[in-house]
Amino acid sequence: MTRLENWVLHTRNGLDGKQFQYLTGNVFGHPKADWFRKDLTDGHEIITSKIVSLDLENNVAITQSGTVYELCNKSNM
């Protein structure tokens, strides 16, 4: 599972006026990370796609792209 550290939950309005949520934080173990997608390699700060499922009790988020994130070490910001 992809891990997100120092994460922050954000809420925005889309172009259609509906609110959506996404995360920012430092990513570790992203399945799409490779030499071409350096922004997904371990430790880089990322912005996720829209969240489709958020379970803060179990520290898991699933994004629109299908990535499942384990949420670790929430940021104090």
| Residue 6 covered by a domain | yes
Domain membership of residue 8 (yes or no) is yes
- On whether residue 62 sits in a domain, the answer given is yes
Give domain status of residue 15, yes or no.
Answer: yes
pLDDT at position 41 is 83
- Give the pLDDT score at 50: 96
Please state, in angstroms and rounded to a whole number, the distance separating the CA atoms of residues 21 and 31: 21
38 part of a folded domain: yes
* Tally of structural domains, the chain: 1
- The answer as to whether 77 is a domain residue is no
The per-residue pLDDT for 35 is 63
At 57, list the tokens. 């009790």
Tokens read off for 28: 């570790």
Digitized pLDDT (tens) for each residue of the chain, 77 residues in all? 899 999 999 999 999 999 999 999 999 988 887 766 777 888 899 999 999 999 999 999 999 999 999 999 888 76
Identify whether 19 is part of a domain: yes
Residue 56 maps to a domain = yes
| DSSP sequence for 1-30 | -EEEEEEEEEEEE-TTS-EEEEEEEEEES-
Domain of 42 in residue numbering reads as 2-72
